[in-house]
Amino acid sequence: MSSKKRDYRDIVLQIDSELSKVQDADILLEHILIEARHVLNADAGTIYVREGDQLVFKYSQNTTLEKRLPPGQKLPYSNMRMPIDDSRLAGYAAKNRVPVRIDDAYSIPADKPYKFNPSFDKQNNWKTRSILAYPLITSTGNLLGVIQVLNAMNEDGDAIPFTAGDEKIFEHFASSATDALERAFMTRAIILRMNRMAEMRDPKETGAHVNRVAGYAAEIYDRWAFNRGIGDKERERTKDTLKMAAMLHDVGKVAISDLILKKPARFTPEEYKVMQAHTCFGARLFVDPQSELDIISAEVALRHHENWDGTGYPGMVDIWSDDPYAAPLECGPDGGPRKLKGEEIPLGGRIVAVADVYDALISKRVYKEPWDSGKVLDEIRAMSGTKFDPEIVTAFFEVLPRIEEIRSRYPDLEAEEKRPPLEIKACG
Ligand SMILES: [Fe+2]
Ligand SMILES: [Fe+2]
């Protein structure tokens, strides 16, 4: 076996273990693309996920174009989708469940049904040459998506064709990636089901809202950690965990009475106190932690309503008490639970606080119309140093374009759209 092939095998084994550590589906998709490009030394790549009979573009990476961006910035998200048919290369790979390897995108033989679309190249002053597209298919035959790498690079940095050997390596890689992705989709489905339970109790906490808050929290953390010089590995790991924990920030609302959750009028002070206990109920779900995810989920659930200046809730409460305010773990000057402030509030709580308030203000809720974007941003800025950690607010504004893209990725659906037909036949 040549040393190049041995290297490949080592890389594939290493990738297998790297991918198995990532739990969040979106972060995993980004990782898969990074590793796929690494293993084949490709300048660029795109990953698509199947939704029904379409491929939805998830991530695009391009080393040459990224070098033109300021440090710490990434290429923007896109919401592009394409039909799974023969007209485009990735669609063809998905429909026919075959890899597609092209030596030169600008001289695809006329007898091929798919065409190359040069508009991205033109807009970005970049040239696609070689392409390798691979369908991601599970062992039970479920098509998850397509991964496409572009421009294999030689040692001099010139684009060269992908080889038949590269295609073989990619086959192993795609199989590891598919396994990891299937697990991540399952984890996400379970988290979303937990949230659906909360949503049945409190219709404000929609699936779209939790997906958005999780996406914002991951981006804000990533920038905050970059600003603090935290290394890539730790940054990726924490971002992954925080993203999933953020999805569960209000899951404790399952334990709050409908009389309060669905009350059409303002809460009395007593009702407001009961409502505040959703933080404690949420934290209760994650005691006896089995993983880093449980620890951060507990912190986020308990601390996402704490304020930087020490005016938030719940403070130093006993989460198991029936009346957390009557029996604090530590008393403050007013006899109630001692308040937490500044960096005493766990980072996840400080980040989700900004993400949650931003989303609540900018979205339509049953009790309010969406605020104008400029007014929302003024409000976030005004609360820096009082309600919010100023460093987190700075990171939030630095990633605002990505936050806005995430917002458009997860729009609020009308009730009808949320109800796909159930294909289980009734008895009899
Ligand atoms: Fe909450
Ligand atoms: Fe929320």
Q: 412: which 2 tokens?
A: 């609020």
CATH number at 320 reads: 1.10.3210.10
- Looking at the CA of 217, which ligand is closest? 2
Residue 370 · residue 42 · CB < 8 Å: no
Decide if 265 is inside a domain. Answer: yes
Concerning whether 253 is annotated as a catalytic residue, the answer is: yes
380 Cα: distance to centroid of ligand 2 (angstroms): 16
pLDDT of residue 3: 45
pLDDT of residue 204: 67
- Looking at the CA of 363, which ligand is closest? 2
* CA pair distance 363, 406, nearest whole angstrom: 13
Decide if 189 is inside a domain. Answer: no
Boundary residue ending a domain (127, 150, 183)? 183
Q: Which of 58, 253, 339, 387 is catalytic?
A: 253
* CA pair distance 332, 312, nearest whole angstrom: 13
Same structural domain, 157 and 46: yes
Q: Which amino acid, one-letter code, is at 410?
A: Y
251 Cα: distance to centroid of ligand 1 (angstroms): 8
- Looking at the CA of 306, which ligand is closest? 1
The domain of 277 spans 202-409
390 Cα: distance to centroid of ligand 1 (angstroms): 21
* CA pair distance 347, 296, nearest whole angstrom: 9
* CA pair distance 66, 44, nearest whole angstrom: 10
Decide if 423 is inside a domain. Answer: no
Same structural domain, 224 and 175: no
CA-wise closest residue to 77 among 221, 264, 216: 216
CA-wise closest residue to 95 among 104, 107, 82: 82
- Looking at the CA of 302, which ligand is closest? 1
Number of domains in the chain: 2
Q: Give pLDDT tens digits along the chain (428 positions).
A: 344 444 666 666 677 777 777 777 888 888 889 888 988 999 999 999 999 999 998 888 899 888 888 876 777 666 688 999 999 999 999 999 999 999 999 999 999 999 998 988 898 889 999 999 999 999 899 999 999 999 999 999 899 999 999 998 888 888 888 988 898 888 888 888 888 888 777 776 677 899 999 999 999 999 999 999 999 888 988 998 999 999 999 999 988 888 888 887 788 999 998 999 999 999 999 888 877 888 999 999 999 999 999 999 999 998 888 777 777 888 888 888 899 999 999 999 999 999 999 999 999 876 778 899 999 999 999 999 999 999 999 999 999 999 999 998 888 876 555 555 555 555 54
Same structural domain, 213 and 83: no
pLDDT of residue 425: 53
Same structural domain, 81 and 208: no
CA-wise closest residue to 211 among 422, 417, 12, 403: 403
pLDDT of residue 414: 65
Decide if 62 is inside a domain. Answer: yes
Boundary residue ending a domain (183, 215, 248)? 183
Residue 252 · residue 282 · CB < 8 Å: yes
Same structural domain, 165 and 214: no
Same structural domain, 179 and 37: yes
Decide if 422 is inside a domain. Answer: no
CATH number at 147 reads: 3.30.450.40
Kindly report whether the global pTM for this prediction surpasses the value 0.75.
Answer: no
Decide if 322 is inside a domain. Answer: yes
- The one-character DSSP state at 254 is G
* CA pair distance 407, 398, nearest whole angstrom: 16
pLDDT of residue 2: 42
pLDDT of residue 302: 96
Same structural domain, 172 and 212: no
Same structural domain, 138 and 209: no
Same structural domain, 222 and 143: no
251 Cα: distance to centroid of ligand 2 (angstroms): 9
Residue 249 · residue 413 · CB < 8 Å: no
Same structural domain, 94 and 168: yes
Boundary residue ending a domain (134, 149, 183)? 183
385 sits in the region (left: phi over 0; alpha: psi -120 to 50; else beta) called left
- The one-character DSSP state at 365 is B
Same structural domain, 245 and 368: yes
* CA pair distance 188, 50, nearest whole angstrom: 16
C-alpha torsion angle, residues 48, 72, 15, 33 (rounded to 10): 20
* CA pair distance 83, 279, nearest whole angstrom: 43
Decide if 414 is inside a domain. Answer: no
80 Cα: distance to centroid of ligand 1 (angstroms): 33
Decide if 264 is inside a domain. Answer: yes
Residue with tokens 């040069």: 118
Same structural domain, 228 and 319: yes
356 Cα: distance to centroid of ligand 2 (angstroms): 5
275 Cα: distance to centroid of ligand 1 (angstroms): 9
Please report the DSSP string for 375-404 in residue order: HHHHHHHHTBTTTB-HHHHHHHHHTHHHHH
* CA pair distance 406, 216, nearest whole angstrom: 7
pLDDT of residue 76: 66
Per-residue exposure over 72-82, b if at least 16 CB sit within 10 Å of its own CB, e if not: eebeebeeeeb
